[in-house]
Amino acid sequence: MSTRLATGGRLIDRSKPLSFTFDGRSLGGFAGDTLAAALLANDQMLIGRSFKYHRPRGILASGVEEPNALVGLGQGPRFEPDQRTTTTELFAGAATVSQNAWPNLDLDIGALNNLAYRFLPAGFYYKTFMFPRFAWKHLFEPVVRLSAGIGRVPKDRDADRYEQAYDFTDVLVVGGGVAGLAAALAAAKGGQRVLVLEQTAHWGGRAPVDGIAINGMPADAWVAETVASLAALPNVTLRRRTMAAGVYDHGYVVAQEAVADHLPGADLPRHRLWRIRAGRIIAATGAIERPLAFAGNDIPGVMLASAARDYVVNWAVSPGDRTVIVTNNDDAYRTALALHDAGLVVPAILDARAKAAGELPALARARGIRVLEGRGIARVKGGKRVKAVEVCAQAGEGAVLETIACDCVAMSGGFSPVVHLYSQPGGKLVWDAANGMFTPDPARAPTGADGKPFVTCAGAASGALQAADALADAHAAGGGEAAQAPRAEAAAEAPMQPVWMMPQGAPAKLRFKMWLDFQNDVKVSDVQLAAREGYESVEHTKRYTTLGMASDQGKMSNINGLAILSDALGQPIPATGTTTFRPPYAPISFGAIAAEARGEIFQPLRRTPMHDWHAAAGAHWEPVGLWRRPYCYPRGGESHSQAVNREVTNTRQNLGLLDASTLGKILVKGPDAGRFLDMLYTGVMSSLPVGKCRYGLMCSENGFLIDDGVVVRLADDAWLCHTTSGGADRIHAHMEDWLQCEWWDWQVYTANLTEQFAQVAVVGPNARKLLERLGGIDVSKEALPFMAFTEGTLAGIPARIFRISFSGELSYEVAIPASHGLAFWKACLAAGADLGLMPYGTEALHVMRAEKGFIMIGDETDGTVIPQDLGLGWAISKKMPDYLGKRAQERSHMTNPERWKLVGLETLDGSVLPDGVLAPAPGANPNGQRATQGRVTSTYFSPTLGCGIAMGLVRRGPERIGEVLEFVAAGKSIPARICDQVFYDKSGEKQNV
Amino acid sequence: MLTLTCPCCGVAAEETELAPGGEAHLKRFGPGASDEDFEGYLFARKNPKGVHFERWRHAMGCGKWFLAARCTATLEVFGTYKAQSPEPPPEIIAAIKARRPDWKGYS
Amino acid sequence: MRRYSVFAVAREALRFHAGWGRAWAAPEPKRKYDVIVVGAGGHGLATAYYLGRNFGIRNVAVLEKGWLGGGNTGRNTTIIRSNYLQDPSAAIYEKARSLFETLSQELNYNVMFSPRGLLMLAQTEHEARGYKRTVHANALQGVQTEYIDAARVKALVPIINIEGPRYPVLGALYQARGGTARHDAVAWAYARACSDMGMDIIQNCEVTGVRSAGGKVQGVDTSRGSIDCDKLAIVVAGNSSVLAEMAGFRLPIESLALQALVSEPIKPAIDVVVMANTVHGYMSQSDKGELVIGGGTDGFNNYTQRGSWHHVEETVRALVETFPIISRLKMMRSWGGIVDMTGDRSPILSATPLGNCFVNCGWGTGGFKSIPGSGWAMAELIAKGAPGPLAAEFGLNRFREGRFIDESVAAGVAH
């Protein structure tokens, strides 16, 4: 059984006991424990169940590569599934639950799959579940989904907060092991800014566990000294608990700092997402040990040799009383030594190599540990925990030579450099056959903006697995001179021998029990099946078997799987290739990625100066771009539609007030401004007299209508262009594009003044009276006729008044400096109380413009409509030789007389046509779809007319006035007559009074 | 996450400050142009896998448009230059040739 | 072809599955084929399959520079829908969707088509009107969709936040028979069926040149030698411009990176596909339990299959706001593909300036869902030399005539 040792544990503080729960059971640990260490200390070998067969799963590793020991952590709004126990620092009160087991971990009904394992090989679902046809969706898939999935679904909104930060550095060192520290020190001495990230809470990595000496002192001491020197340098920043998740192009790195995972309840952001721009990246990310593939290698109690050593040395946790070591390399002997020296029993070391003659085996033998050469494991005996191993000859087919009772198996299949950060931005790898690993290919490193390599692997990550080599390599990567490199003293290691399957001649029965991907239940037999079936690319095999697709993303399984596949295909590993590493290196929280952008500040909110007044007046909001505009202002229990009708009627009969501040306002100025606007608009703007307004249409170069609005000539050389509310930034950019890139020699200046001015539309028969009361500017018909502009001081506020109308009523749009917007709005309200003044919202605006037959960009247009379709020929100059979109509008499809054109539509019964409804034409098109001849673009109830009104695009529409079309909605036919699109005040008297 | 140096303000701007604008050095065809020329101007794109000339705007910075020579296969940037250039200037061509000896040249 | 069934699996189980043969053959290229399809993605393989199935043309090679299904077919978010607005789009996507309904049975390979329902959220008045319009159009196009209110959205997706505050959900366009399928399996299923018809799928065979004489295609040069053909189909998505250049013409295509990502696997959390276009993100859950998430494309030409981080942030932000419970889940893997965007964001199925050379490209972000329909229409185009009704509107000539098929209904603006 696993238990806490009486002494030792370099990372734990025995004076700080902590209690936590697992599946409701109260357990104890110490400060400094990981969850995994604490669980093991309590003999909790069984942590969860696997994905497909629901096999018992224990702790396999001690770090970020752990595929099995995932738990649900926390409760309520702080519950998180799939939390990796090996990287989670223990905290007081941590509530953890096992995953993927029902009704409970020990008695999981899903484990029935395990009995049927032979019937559920890789890809069995591709070959089955096809009949009857509906059964996949209704029967099979729900079962598959329930059985899979592992973690429980959080139920509540996250109670924690997250934040993001930027950093910039010349050199980013990823990894705070001895290689990373050596590289950082060397780089820092050159004076460059250096940032060092370490994913755990501790500096030093594996070296202190491995008992290495550096520069004549124990690794722990060297690490402490080096960290202290680095911390003292002004150009160095050290960050622990920060994992570099992804390296992107041009030196961009995303890292996640676990700020408060270990301090729940502290008033801190839980995670901080760092966005780092680095000149150069040194990936001192170490190497990860590989499992060996033998039958029963997934039974709880089988773990990586390095992990077993970590638990003993770092946390004083014994993984078992009797641990059998199985290895193909010397490093695992360190585990034997560590366990033995902690007073634990190592009954045997099974070394797959024919000879174990190095320094480390000699040390083991000297302690009286049995070393069996050329041996492997035929089978691990046990169910929910290891009971014994059956020993066989590695060279054979699994005949059992001996059975050794044990409760832990520590395995080592060699090490794989962590090359993820090098590979992510495009770095390529080479296969090192002697050491059975992929290493970075210096000739094909990822390149940056300057075309030069910007990621270097250092230490074990570059394949320098021995401590002395690793330090020298890292020191050089940091730019240090060879003579000054830190010197490591460690036992020399004899070469490893790649072993991909144990024993090498294992029959199918054993291969069906050899796990490669522990979480996803992919076995040697599955990969071999994939190869047999022609899924020969490593990507095919991955996808067919799900190898490496689990939440460890292949850290445990990729190389072993690749080797088995290559063997099955009879080709060397490099010929099979490797898969591409993708960000993130290990999972990072969506919370950190989204950070503060939630709720009200999900996106920036643009507010007009009157925004708060609208809110206080009970406005029902409508999002318009990043703005929020009042849709209507319901009063005392009114429905929205009642409010809209009231606002329309009141505006038409008395006086309405609209906050039009969101309208785009772009100043275009300069000697060539008129010429420029003539190119931008379909109509002539250069001829507009000063003080006058003109409606204009803007098209894309592709001919389609993109925006409209009133253009005002402010002065000889200055025009003010109004755009749609959503369009100001886009249109301003559009203007600048043409000005800077095409007509760059024209003297024109543009400025987007949208937020500099508040704008208020004063609309209705009493509009003039109100402005006269406000006083200061003559707004009489003579002084300020329709489509004219003036400026002066109104109500004591500097104001521009445009006499334009989007409602058909007598209407003035008043622009005032934004800082006076609210004051002016209130002044209007105060002065207009007895004139029947009421504010109105966007929907009333829409209804009134539709009653008047005015188009709305986005309703009458949809990116397929040209001005000619909308009866706006009067706004298109025939004389101008060129404007943006003119050539496009000459193309055959654009001049086709069959195009759908704008008309008015009135239902025969006065009802309101549904939004977007279409009118079928006789027959069907060649694809069997009903032919159509028109559609509704805008449809409203008109309170003014007391019936429904609509506009629509109809094939040859204007030629068919009076004709009745049948529109179809939900199978029902609605007859509507084609009519003039102007429903209200056709002669335009009202706006012209 | 690209970084491009704006030739107008000199800032090494990162992608989030920049707005991409598609292929550079397109010749505008307006009224009077043939259907073929007009179609080519609006739609036909080189879209090469390799050396590419493109438009960018330093939208969240100085607001100026500029042009960049960039490799679409490696994202290497050979240089940036003024938007008001009818074709890539000699120093940009030289920079590309230095890095891509096999490049066939601008056409 | 060995038939797949539960009985076959059971029989094989008794002998440790030693008896399964190759799903598709690995032949050497022949000297000449009637038709060469370049690109063994879903579209290329489906094109080949329907050439054989519908037109009896079986002397076909499908050439693939990497491994089959390794491009966008294996990199998308597996969404299937046909709720398009414009007639030509609705026709070809609905053809594809309806073929997906029976694809597993037809190809004897479970592609796990799961018509679990698809929602496109309306979060502005403008969007709501647009989706209502789509529903009316779909009704006449024979595509079953409906507009549902926010309460029904919430009932279908209990984890959704419909209250905003910034973009409350007003309703949704709902296609009950939209859903997902297992993307890799679609390519593998077609490959197996093509191979079974005697077609040659040749992987690791990169086309390096297109040979022609007298304005007509003669064959291709490849990394595995020259191969002649009567007809050539270029079906290579993001690499279309590269192949077009070899064939001597330009396409209205730009290649952009599109990213997707998945969460760690969790138990069933969401039973439908949700697309939120106002905030730019979409999400579904795979049968393995991962939340599958996608968003918008990068804006610049890119052949690296690597995207920019800020798009990941934008997408995740949108989805955390839409589904607040995912905040404590983790991103497990992200990746990129190269999508081929046309001038009107609609695909191209067309003859080309080079005789007997046809192109199928421009599917942009909509490629996976269209695979069967695209293959069906492309096969007809190749076999007959002229487009059938499904492909008729998707010719290259539309760019000259100004006859676009634009689905990006309106630039959402209002006064």
Distance CA A410, CA A340 (A): 13
Q: Is there a contact between C343 and B1 if contact means CB atoms under 8 Å apart?
A: no
Backbone φ and ψ for C299, nearest 5 degrees, come out as -105, 0
Q: Chains A and B: how many Cβ contacts under 8 Å?
A: 69
Is residue A613 within 8 A of residue A606, CB to CB? The reply is: no
Is residue A646 within 8 A of residue A944, CB to CB? The reply is: no
Q: What's the whole-number average pLDDT of chain C?
A: 95
Q: Give the residue numbers spanning the domain of A569.
A: 499-588
| CATH value at residue A318 | 3.50.50.60
Whole-number pLDDT of residue A126: 94
Per 3-state DSSP, chain A is made up of helix, strand and coil in percentages (nearest 5) of 25, 30, 45
Distance CA C109, CA A136 (A): 12
Pair type for strands A930-942 and A947-955: antiparallel
pLDDT at A630 > cutoff 50: yes
- Structural domain contains residue C187: yes
Q: Is B1 on the interface with A (CB under 8 A)?
A: yes
- Structural domain contains residue C3: no
Count the Cβ atoms, other than its own, within 10 Å of residue A434.
10
- Structural domain contains residue C406: no
User: Which DSSP string corresponds to C295-344?
Assistant: EEEEEEE--SS---HHHHHHHHHHHHHHSGGGGGSEEEEEEEEEEEEETT
Whole-number pLDDT of residue C1: 72
Q: Are residues A328 and A192 in the same domain?
A: no
In 3D, which of A397, A376, A379 has the Cα closest to residue A389?
A379
DSSP reduced 3-state for A220: helix
Q: Are residues A242 and A330 in the same domain?
A: no
Q: Which of A98-102, A318-322, A414-418, A496-500 has the lowest mean pLDDT?
A: A98-102
Count the Cβ atoms, other than its own, within 10 Å of residue A216.
9
User: Both tokens of residue A133?
Assistant: 């046809």
Distance CA A400, CA A376 (A): 10
Q: A137 pLDDT band (50/70/90 cuts)? A: confident
Is residue A56 within 8 A of residue A49, CB to CB? The reply is: yes
Whole-number pLDDT of residue C2: 84
Backbone φ and ψ for A131, nearest 5 degrees, come out as -130, 145
Q: Are residues C282 and C169 in the same domain?
A: yes
Q: Are residues C124 and C170 in the same domain?
A: yes
Q: C409 pLDDT band (50/70/90 cuts)? A: low
Pair type for strands A408-412 and A302-304: parallel
Cα A112 to the center of its chain, rounded Å: 37
- Structural domain contains residue A631: yes
Comparing CB atoms, the residue among A537, A598, A624 nearest residue C320 is A598
Q: Are residues A402 and A425 in the same domain?
A: no
Which tens digit of pLDDT belongs to each residue from A32-60? 999 999 999 999 999 999 989 999 999 99
pLDDT at B41 > cutoff 70: yes
Q: Are residues A550 and A694 in the same domain?
A: no
Q: Is there a contact between C304 and A426 if contact means CB atoms under 8 Å apart?
A: yes
Q: Are residues A657 and A647 in the same domain?
A: yes
Q: Is B62 on the interface with A (CB under 8 A)?
A: no
Tell me the nearest-neighbour CA distance from B6 into chain C, angstroms.
16
- Structural domain contains residue A877: no
Residues 6+ apart with CB under 8 A from A941: A641, A645, A847, A912, A947, A948, A949
Q: Are residues A454 and A513 in the same domain?
A: no
% of chain A beyond a pLDDT of 90: 93
Q: Are residues C265 and C335 in the same domain?
A: yes
A837-839 sheet: strands from edge to edge: A789-794, A797-802, A811-817, A757-763, A655-659, A837-839
In 3D, which of A865, A862, A872 has the Cα closest to residue A683?
A872
Distance CA A305, CA A322 (A): 13
Q: A111 pLDDT band (50/70/90 cuts)? A: confident
- Structural domain contains residue A295: yes
Distance CA A461, CA A477 (A): 12
Q: What angle do CA A86, A89, A92 make, to 5 degrees?
A: 130
Which tens digit of pLDDT belongs to each residue from C289-322? 999 999 889 899 999 999 999 999 999 999 999 9
Q: Could you write out the three-class secondary structure of A963-976?
A: CEEEEEECCEEEEE
Is residue A166 within 8 A of residue A252, CB to CB? The reply is: no
- Please name the amino acid found at residue A351: D
Q: Are residues A628 and A705 in the same domain?
A: no
Q: Are residues A633 and A761 in the same domain?
A: yes
Interface test with B, best of A166, A170, A248, A250 (most B CBs within 10 A): A250
Kindly list the domain boundaries of chain B, sorted by start residue. 3-99
User: Both tokens of residue C356?
Assistant: 């007997």
Comparing CB atoms, the residue among A737, A744, A887 nearest residue B31 is A887
**C361: exposed, middle or buried (Cβ count in 10 Å: 0-12, 13-18, 19+):** buried
In 3D, which of A31, A17, A47 has the Cα closest to residue A90?
A31
Per 3-state DSSP, chain B is made up of helix, strand and coil in percentages (nearest 5) of 20, 30, 50
% of chain C beyond a pLDDT of 90: 94
Q: Which of A116-125, A550-559, A887-896 has the lowest mean pLDDT?
A: A116-125
Backbone φ and ψ for A379, nearest 5 degrees, come out as -165, 140
| CATH value at residue C268 | 3.30.9.10
Positions of E strands within A175-315:
194-197, 213-214, 217-218, 236-239, 242-248, 252-258, 271-283, 287-289, 302-304
Q: Which residues of A touch C324 (CB under 8 A)?
A: 157-158, 598
Tell me the nearest-neighbour CA distance from C255 into chain B, angstroms.
7
- Which residue, C296, C314, C341, sits at the end of a domain? C341
Q: Are residues C239 and C170 in the same domain?
A: no
Q: Are residues C223 and C276 in the same domain?
A: no
Distance CA A399, CA A389 (A): 13
When pLDDT is averaged across residues A881-897 and rounded to a whole number, the result is 96
Which tens digit of pLDDT belongs to each residue from A214-242? 999 999 999 999 999 999 999 999 999 99
Pair type for strands C118-122 and C171-175: antiparallel
- Which residue, C341, C358, C384, sits at the end of a domain? C341
User: Which is it for the CA torsion A312, A316, A318, A321, positive or negative?
Assistant: positive
ipTM of the complex: 0.98
Q: What is the DSSP letter of C2?
A: P
Which residue in A has a C-alpha nearest to residue B1's C-alpha? A249
Q: Are residues C304 and C233 in the same domain?
A: no
Q: Chains B and C: how many Cβ contacts under 8 Å?
A: 62
Neighbouring-strand partners of residue C93: none
Q: Give the residue numbers spanning the domain of C161.
A: 106-178+255-341
Q: Is there a contact between C399 and B43 if contact means CB atoms under 8 Å apart?
A: yes
Distance CA A358, CA A329 (A): 10
Asked if the bond preceding A503 is cis, omega within 30° of 0, the reply is yes
Backbone φ and ψ for A333, nearest 5 degrees, come out as -65, -25
Number of domains, chain A:
7
Q: Are residues A202 and A306 in the same domain?
A: no
Taking the domain B3-99, which CATH number applies?
3.30.2270.10
Q: A109 pLDDT band (50/70/90 cuts)? A: confident
Q: Which residues of A touch C410 (CB under 8 A)?
A: 857-859, 861-863
Which tens digit of pLDDT belongs to each residue from A634-689? 999 999 999 999 999 999 999 999 999 999 999 999 999 999 999 999 999 999 99
- Which residue, A556, A588, A620, sits at the end of a domain? A588
Distance CA A447, CA C64 (A): 27
Which residue in B has a C-alpha nearest to residue A880's C-alpha? B31
Q: Are residues C389 and C296 in the same domain?
A: no
- Structural domain contains residue C92: no
Q: Are residues C363 and C272 in the same domain?
A: no
Which tens digit of pLDDT belongs to each residue from A891-925? 999 999 999 999 999 999 999 999 999 999 999 99
Which tens digit of pLDDT belongs to each residue from A581-623? 999 999 999 999 999 999 999 999 999 999 999 999 999 999 9
DSSP reduced 3-state for A740: helix
Whole-number pLDDT of residue B27: 96
Q: Give me the residue label for tokens 């009627």.
A: A649
Tell me the nearest-neighbour CA distance from B76 into chain A, angstroms.
5
Q: Are residues A79 and A36 in the same domain?
A: yes
| CATH value at residue A911 | 2.40.30.110
Distance CA A10, CA A219 (A): 12
- Structural domain contains residue A875: no
Number of domains, chain C:
2
Helix ranges, C6-149 (H): 6-14, 42-55, 87-101, 103-107, 125-141
Which tens digit of pLDDT belongs to each residue from A749-799? 999 999 999 999 999 999 999 999 999 999 999 999 999 999 999 999 999
User: Both tokens of residue A55?
Assistant: 């096999």
Tell me the nearest-neighbour CA distance from B1 into chain C, angstroms.
5
Q: Is there a contact between C241 and B46 if contact means CB atoms under 8 Å apart?
A: yes
Q: Is A451 on the interface with B (CB under 8 A)?
A: yes
Q: What's the whole-number average pLDDT of chain A?
A: 96
Which tens digit of pLDDT belongs to each residue from A456-502? 999 999 999 999 999 999 999 999 999 999 999 989 999 999 999 99
C-alpha dihedral (A877, A878, A879, A883), degrees to nearest 10: 60
Distance CA A353, CA C196 (A): 46
Q: Is there a contact between C333 and A584 if contact means CB atoms under 8 Å apart?
A: yes
Asked if the bond preceding A689 is cis, omega within 30° of 0, the reply is no
Distance CA C225, CA A721 (A): 62
Q: Are residues C206 and C266 in the same domain?
A: no
- Structural domain contains residue C382: yes
| CATH value at residue A770 | 3.30.1360.120
**A987: exposed, middle or buried (Cβ count in 10 Å: 0-12, 13-18, 19+):** exposed
Is residue A194 within 8 A of residue A237, CB to CB? The reply is: yes
